[in-house]
Amino acid sequence: MSPDLKISLANVGKLNPNSLEDYLKVGGFESLKKTLTQNPDEIIDQIQLSGLRGRGGAGFPSGLKQRFTYDSCHACPERYVVCNADEGEPGTYKDRIIMENDPFLLIEGILIAGYSIRGTRGFVYIRREYYDSINKVENAIKTCYEKGFLGKNILGSNFSFELETFYGAGSYLCGEELTLLESLEGKRGYPRIKPPFPAEVGLFGKPTLVNNVETFSHLPFIVREGAETYARLGTAESKGTKLFCVSGNVNKPGTYEFPMGITLRRLIFDVCEGMKEGYNFLGALLGGAAGTFVDESFLDVPLAYETLKQKGATLGSGAIMILDNKTDVKAMFQNILEFFKHESCGKCVPCRIGTTLLYEKSKSKLLESDLIWMAQEATYMAKNSLCPLGQSPDLPVKSAIKYFKNQLIES
Ligand SMILES: Cc1cc2nc3c(=O)[nH]c(=O)nc-3n(C[C@H](O)[C@H](O)[C@H](O)COP(=O)(O)O)c2cc1C
Ligand code: SF4
């Protein structure tokens, strides 16, 4: 299989995103048609076999999540699919590319997922600033209703499914799936305690499948080409392709799709055509603010969930922020901690106070003893915070200290 094979970006630049005809010409909705001839169990088996893992950051096995949702509350007449298009992780700009360029692909993926969990209704939760994404997705939804791809008895089948958009107000925490559901229910964006997980008690208490935009965009390929074909792409535990959002002083920053396992070296020096003149590679922040700092020893580590985990790092959303010899690492560190302080919802003490303490400390001239204290505080927050946001500073704080201690202390 060609390493240039694209799944999420296959049609980008090749079709008019407002044209259903264009999408149909490239085989659009053929996977949905195939799906409608099988039973939900068979579809879920295929997704499980493919090895697809969620692209929102946590990398949870997508087929298993579908299975849990399918198996939950057989008597429930209402079952929901929620597409997480909040894209709040700093440095991440991939979901918008799918929505702006190939909205019908996203809708087809949502429909396949909806059918597999016996879903009745779906929501695309899009951040409000994504005007173009909103326009493209809403236009595609409208067209799908007009042409029988949404609504009652889709394409003459017994499957009926409603789909609409919902606008997020720009809170990072509302990208977290349970907080997102609160927001979708019209409530303040405070997290829920898990368990129960959305598969059991989701939107309005009903079984709900929550997936990221990129995750949904892989379903039509898996149904069309087969799970084995998909599973041949990528690494042992990270199958398929991934969107990598490269930013920083490289010659060609951008969002690129490659099979899981591509190295940082290849991404930076080949795909992005190297560092800009006068800048030398120093390291990277992988996975956004909630991710991990890495140094040049990671240049040849395959970018995949398991390989990065073995080295204490994370792939997260696929954000790759490049650090160079002129990067003010301390300022970046401080900026991340300010971000967490700003985004903490304040509901629980360890995170409300902890994010403030970490940020305030980062503004001072740091000594080695301060870094030890910051790492301890991050551990305390990770153990005692109510939701994943309060647990998030742990990775960036400790990895920054591990790889860039000198830069943090010197300035
Ligand atoms: C603070 C926080 C913010 C998050 N923001 C997003 C987001 O913007 N988009 C997203 O898809 N997932 C986000 N997630 C992950 C979601 O909680 C959830 O794991 C994901 O939507 C599940 O979809 P997936 O299985 O397809 O990855 C966030 C998680 C946390 C803890
Ligand atoms: S961990 Fe932070 S964001 Fe989560 S509930 Fe507590 S204060 Fe709110």
201: Cβ contacts below 8 Å, ≥ 6 apart: none
pLDDT-above-70 percentage for the chain: 99
Which protein residue's CA is at the shortest distance from atom 24 of ligand 1? 54
Question: From CA 364, how far away is CA 187, in angstroms rounded?
Answer: 38
Question: From CA 274, how far away is CA 266, in angstroms rounded?
Answer: 9
pLDDT tens digits for range 90-140: 999 999 999 999 999 999 999 999 999 999 999 999 999 999 999 999 999
Ligand 1 pocket check for 388: Cβ under 6 Å: yes
pLDDT at 64: 98
pLDDT at 261: 97
Same fold, 241-324 and 330-410: no
- CATH code at 20-231: 3.40.50.11540
Mean pLDDT of 365-385: 97
Mean pLDDT computed over every residue of the chain: 96
Atom of ligand 2 nearest to the CA of 385: 1
- CATH code at 330-410: 1.20.1440.230
Ligand 1 pocket check for 95: Cβ under 6 Å: no
Residue 230 banded pLDDT, cuts 50, 70, 90: very high
Which protein residue's CA is at the shortest distance from atom 20 of ligand 1? 56
Ligand 1 pocket check for 179: Cβ under 6 Å: no
Domain positions in the chain: 20-231, 241-324, 330-410
**How many other C-beta atoms can be found within 10 angstroms of the C-beta atom of residue 136?**
22
Ligand 2 pocket check for 344: Cβ under 6 Å: yes
Dihedral angle sign, alpha carbons of residues 205, 206, 207, 211: negative
Which protein residue's CA is at the shortest distance from atom 4 of ligand 2? 387
Statement: residue 410 has pLDDT above 80: no
C-alpha 126 – ligand 1 centre gap (Å):
12
Residue 411 banded pLDDT, cuts 50, 70, 90: low
Strands 281-286 and 292-295 turn out to be antiparallel
State whether residue 256 is helix, strand or coil: strand
Statement: residue 295 has pLDDT above 70: yes
Ligand 1 pocket check for 382: Cβ under 6 Å: no
Residue 222 banded pLDDT, cuts 50, 70, 90: very high
Ligand 2 pocket check for 173: Cβ under 6 Å: yes
pLDDT at 74: 85
Atom of ligand 1 nearest to the CA of 60: 25
pLDDT at 346: 95
Statement: residue 360 has pLDDT above 70: yes
C-alpha 389 – ligand 2 centre gap (Å):
6
Which protein residue's CA is at the shortest distance from atom 14 of ligand 1? 176
Ligand 1 pocket check for 79: Cβ under 6 Å: no
**How many other C-beta atoms can be found within 10 angstroms of the C-beta atom of residue 167?**
14
Ligand 2 pocket test, pick from 351, 359, 383, 384 with the greatest ligand atom count within 8 Å of Cβ, gives 351
C-alpha 124 – ligand 1 centre gap (Å):
13
Class of the CATH domain delimited by 241-324 = alpha beta
Q: Which of 275, 267, 286 is nearest to 248 (CA)?
A: 275
**Which two tokens mark 377?**
């505080």
Statement: residue 283 has pLDDT above 80: yes
Cα angle 63, 43, 230 (rounded to 5 degrees) comes to: 65
Statement: residue 1 has pLDDT above 80: no
pLDDT at 2: 62
